[in-house]
């Protein structure tokens, strides 16, 4: 066999080996938890539902599924990214333990708050806390002061290609030692601590975190202080790009 023929034969063998290793390889699976009385689902196409988010994830090359079963090692087996968006019922302690094991073994988690209490146990396990009132803004307001744009963003794959995104009734997030704030309000935002419905003495004023990103074991997580960001109605160009980036991140890219 000539040297040229031998080289061509080697290239052919390498190509066949690569094709064999890639053949049948499944796309990453992103799983939506829908077993905690979620009202906003990936199977529904209404304005407040998450069908466009699911389609956006699929466009990033991911498989997308949902489950109403309790979160456990078995239900998370083979999952690349887990989404827990807008639960109205608390995760049980065994479910929290399973999610933390999922993260420790290298999984990725995206959680979005509609109200704080149902995710409080999981957030505590990640050393993250949420405010007891929604955020109000005095800058970048969309239509009322609880709906606003955020343009204070840290360098992150989640924000590739965007300089701002919009939130609609969000909660402040306080990260602990395993996370950091990657999107925050203006310094003039406030939380109505005394419950009088207006900015007054005793309220908290300042720049508050709305998205935190951190690591846990070999895995990583991102927490959004708002679930409306990804609902069908609110997927404008910036939020849609954020959704695409999130899908890529959850897929492990």
**From CA 147, how far away is CA 132, in angstroms rounded?**
17
Q: What is the pLDDT of residue 9?
A: 46
Which DSSP letter does residue 153 get? E
Q: What is the pLDDT of residue 144?
A: 97
Q: What is the pLDDT of residue 20?
A: 36
Q: What is the pLDDT of residue 195?
A: 87
Report domain extents, the chain. 26-250
User: Low-confidence residues of the chain, pLDDT below 50?
Assistant: 4-24
Contact 125, 217 (CB under 8 A): no
**From CA 66, how far away is CA 219, in angstroms rounded?**
21
Q: Are strands 147-150 and 209-216 parallel, antiparallel or unpaired?
A: unpaired
Angle at 230 between CA 217 and CA 80, to 5 degrees: 30
Calculate the CA 131 to chain-centre distance. Answer: 18
Specify the 3-state DSSP secondary structure of 152: strand
**From CA 90, how far away is CA 72, in angstroms rounded?**
15
Q: Which residue has the tokens 């009322």?
A: 144
- Residue 13 sits at φ, ψ, to 5 deg, of -60, -45
Fold of 26-250: Rossmann fold (3.40.50)
Contact 98, 63 (CB under 8 A): no
Q: What is the pLDDT of residue 18?
A: 39
Q: What is the pLDDT of residue 8?
A: 41
Q: What is the pLDDT of residue 2?
A: 57
Q: What is the pLDDT of residue 182?
A: 98
- Orientation of helix 237-250 relative to helix 51-59, angle to 10°: 60
């Amino acid at each position: 066999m000539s040297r040229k023929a031998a080289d061509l034969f080697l290239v052919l063998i390498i190509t066949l080996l690569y094709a064999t290793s890639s053949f049948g390889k499944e796309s990453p699976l992103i799983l939506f938890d829908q077993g905690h009385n979620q009202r906003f689902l990936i199977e529904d196409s209404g304005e407040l539902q998450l069908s466009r988010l699911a389609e956006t994830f699929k466009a990033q090359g991911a498989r997308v599924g949902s489950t109403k079963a309790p979160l456990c090692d078995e239900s998370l087996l083979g999952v690349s990214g887990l989404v827990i968006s807008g639960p109205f019922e608390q995760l049980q302690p065994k479910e929290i333990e399973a999610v933390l094991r999922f993260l420790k073994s290298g999984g990725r988690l995206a959680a979005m708050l509609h109200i704080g209490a149902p995710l409080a146990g999981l957030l505590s396990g990640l050393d993250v806390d949420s405010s007891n009132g929604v955020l109000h803004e005095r800058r970048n307001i969309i239509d009322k002061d609880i709906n606003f744009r955020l343009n204070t963003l840290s360098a992150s794959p989640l924000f590739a290609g965007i300089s701002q995104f919009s939130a609609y009734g969000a909660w402040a997030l306080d990260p602990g030692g395993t996370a950091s704030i990657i999107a925050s309000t203006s310094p003039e935002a406030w939380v109505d601590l005394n419950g009088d419905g207006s900015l007054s003495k005793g309220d908290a004023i300042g720049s508050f975190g709305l998205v935190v990103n951190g690591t846990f074991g070999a895995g990583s997580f991102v927490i959004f202080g708002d679930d409306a960001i990804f609902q069908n109605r609110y997927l404008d160009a910036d939020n849609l790009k954020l959704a695409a980036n999130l899908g890529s991140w959850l897929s492990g890219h």
